[in-house]
Structure 1
Amino acid sequence: MTLAFPASLRDTLLTALAPLIWGSTYWVTSQWLPPDRPFTAALLRVLPAGLLLLGWTRCWPARASWGRLLGVSVLNIGVFQALLFVAAYRLPGGVAAILGATQPLMVLGWVWLLEQRRPRWPVALAAWLGVGGMATLLYAPGTAWDGVGVAAAAGGAAAMALGCYLTQRWQGVGLPVLALTGWQLTLGGLCLLPLAWRLEPALPPLSVGQGLAYGYLSLCGALLAYALWFRGIRRLPAVAVSSLGLLSPLCAALLGAYWLGQTLHGWALLGWLITLGSVLAVQLASRGTRR
């Protein structure tokens, strides 16, 4: 006997795997990667995966779509990955990327600003619930954070929100999902190359564990996760996909509590539960909408 899942539920579950994988970034970065090299980590995460996908798909974008492709690549990969690793190096796993809670609201804001389409109140209310949940987790007593790390997390969320919206609005610039993923990872990685080259020292000889950590971040955290993410952008409302991104800090909080001994109780646990409830509420409230 086999279980048949509705297509929308299957798409949601597959898309949710991407932020769950991304949630492990903070633990892997803090425990396994060489210190103080956020741009190098971002570069080695995305560029090898992008080149691998380009070699596999061998699909070129239309000449007229290059500008749009470069734009979403910079937002989704270049800016987001750079700021993600700055946050990952400066914040503990339980609070890293917590300002990603504003991302669903940012998507609604872009739709309202660029399309004059007012958000439905249940979707907006559920998105605000996510902000409240993550704020509770952020301001829980004893939570450690710094201004630069939080600013990086907020900037990354803003870039990803706009990139998510534009990728859907432009219908993936006419490329199949794997080709779109490969081109974005490659172009975004090339944007990171001068930052890593000029601003950070060369990598020392890597241990086996560090090499495996970079490999995990590239193959799982970039190639697999972004392919699932861009697939979801094509099949689900943009605000629903963006809301699933909150699973990343929730996963990071669990990994931090289990592996790093970071506490998750009291107000922090309440914030975690509220945020998870907001993710589920956005999925339900946004059904039947495109954005």
Structure 2
Amino acid sequence: MRHLSVTLATALAPLVWGTTYLVTTQFLPPDAPLFAALMRALPAGLLAVALSRALPRGSWWWRSAVLGVLNIGAFFLLLFVAAYRLPGGLAATLGAGQPLIVAVLAVVLLGQAWSAWRLGWGVVGVVGVALVVLRADAVPDVLGVAAGLAGAASMGLGVTLTKRWGRPTGALAFAGWQLTAGGLVLVPLTLVVEGVPAGIDAPAVAGYAWLGVVGGLLAYTLWFTGIGRIPVTSAAMLALLSPVVAAALGALVLGERFEPAQLLGFALALGAIVASQLRTGTATPPPEPGPQTVPAVAGTVGPEAVADGHAESAPEPVCR
């Protein structure tokens, strides 16, 4: 029962991320994706650090920077490059490959056993998302495809390293460290490429607040809590909820129509998500990995959460 409650709480993060496309298109200034990513990451990260009153110690300075770049800074940048150069459905489908990347990295970096169950349902999940969001007229772009795959790999590696290194402090502070590091990476890119958009009105402020407080602070706190307590491959599969929610909101709020193939895709994606949480399958275990330790951090608050075992995406331009 406790595992179920943790899984449901973790699933809230990609459910919230699925609202990003709707909020971005309906409330935010157009053609300013990097500024939106910056507003989502840096203010929320600084707020989380201030509320938790905990800073990294020792090796966690560079570890937090690495995780912040992988999970936030580089991921957001690559996500928006893919979204601008590819049809949204194709970008979302590439992002849905993240669970497959995590399944491989879990074997390489975490010493977990190969599991046909995980890989099989990961493939089913990708197929389901593709049916939901991919359009027949989608035209691939080499740079866009590379960015989409690199974004999925960046988030996949970040999620796996988060599991490997553990969490040395409370989830709020841990999320704050990474959001701040990722946001700082986005600052020079945003100022050079876009600058501050004109016409930031009250709806835009509300949209940025939603993306930062709910989509950033709250969602990533839940996400990093869940990664520490459930299998990393199961957590990665939950990320498929994001494009599914984005497509559902497009139908409910924007009046987009669903074809039978999309309904089948919904069923496949949701089935894959549920099945990946029920069992891990059996496989011949690899050689025992070396001992791993999670360094304690003096002066931090919150429980240590280390337990055994992520293009936001949407039917159109995708942003997580």
User: So what's the TM-score if we normalise by structure 2?
Assistant: 0.82
Deviations along 1:31-67, whole A, 9 cap, x unmatched? 2211111111100111011111111111121212222
Which position in structure 1 is the counterpart of 2:237? 243
The 8 Å contact of residues 106 and 232 in structure 2, kept in 1 or not, is answered as no
Identify the range of structure 1 (214-223 vs 107-116) with the bigger mean alpha-carbon deviation: 107-116
Q: Which amino acid aligns with 2:61?
A: W
Distance 1:96 1:28 in 2: 18
Deviations along 1:149-201, whole A, 9 cap, x unmatched? 555443322111111100010002x1221110111111110000010011113
Distance 1:62 1:28 in 2: 36
Q: Which amino acid aligns with 2:96?
A: A
The 8 Å contact of residues 47 and 186 in structure 1, kept in 2 or not, is answered as yes
The 5 Å alignment of 1:47-196 reads 47-87=42-82, 97-115=92-110, 117-141=112-136, 147=141, 151-172=146-167, 174-196=168-190
Distance 2:88 2:233 in 1: 25
- Is residue 2:251 matched to residue 1:233? no
Deviations along 1:227-266, whole A, 9 cap, x unmatched? 0000101111000110000000000010111222322222
C-alpha change, 1:258 and 1:94, in structure 2 (3 Å) is farther
The 8 Å contact of residues 90 and 134 in structure 2, kept in 1 or not, is answered as no
Which position in structure 2 is the counterpart of 1:277? 271
Q: Which amino acid aligns with 2:118?
A: V
C-alpha change, 1:35 and 1:145, in structure 2 (3 Å) is farther
C-alpha change, 1:70 and 1:11, in structure 2 (3 Å) is same
Distance 2:139 2:255 in 1: 16
Which position in structure 2 is the counterpart of 1:214? 208
Shift of 1:96: 5.4
Q: Which amino acid aligns with 2:105?
A: W
Q: Which amino acid aligns with 2:29?
A: P
Distance 1:43 1:22 in 2: 15
Shift of 1:86: 4.2
Greater percentage in helix:
1
Distance 2:26 2:80 in 1: 13
Distance 2:139 2:271 in 1: 24
Distance 1:61 1:140 in 2: 45
Q: Which amino acid aligns with 1:185?
A: L
Distance 1:213 1:93 in 2: 20
Identity of aligned residues (%): 46
C-alpha change, 1:94 and 1:105, in structure 2 (3 Å) is closer
Which position in structure 1 is the counterpart of 2:308? 290
Paired residues, number: 284
C-alpha change, 1:164 and 1:82, in structure 2 (3 Å) is same
The answer for unaligned runs of 5 or more in structure 1 is: 1-5
The 8 Å contact of residues 96 and 249 in structure 1, kept in 2 or not, is answered as no
C-alpha change, 1:29 and 1:89, in structure 2 (3 Å) is farther
Shift of 1:95: 6.3
Q: Which amino acid aligns with 2:120?
A: L
The 8 Å contact of residues 77 and 184 in structure 1, kept in 2 or not, is answered as yes
C-alpha change, 1:7 and 1:106, in structure 2 (3 Å) is same
Partner SS state of residue 63, structure 1:
coil
Identify the range of structure 1 (280-289 vs 6-15) with the bigger mean alpha-carbon deviation: 280-289
Identify the range of structure 1 (154-163 vs 280-289) with the bigger mean alpha-carbon deviation: 280-289
Identify the range of structure 1 (191-200 vs 103-112) with the bigger mean alpha-carbon deviation: 103-112
The answer for unaligned runs of 5 or more in structure 2 is: 283-306, 310-320
One of 197, 202, 205 as aligned partner of 2:196: 202
C-alpha change, 1:96 and 1:23, in structure 2 (3 Å) is farther
Partner SS state of residue 61, structure 1:
coil
Q: Which amino acid aligns with 2:13?
A: A
Distance 1:284 1:68 in 2: 32
- Measured on the aligned residues, the alpha-carbon RMSD in Å equals 2.3
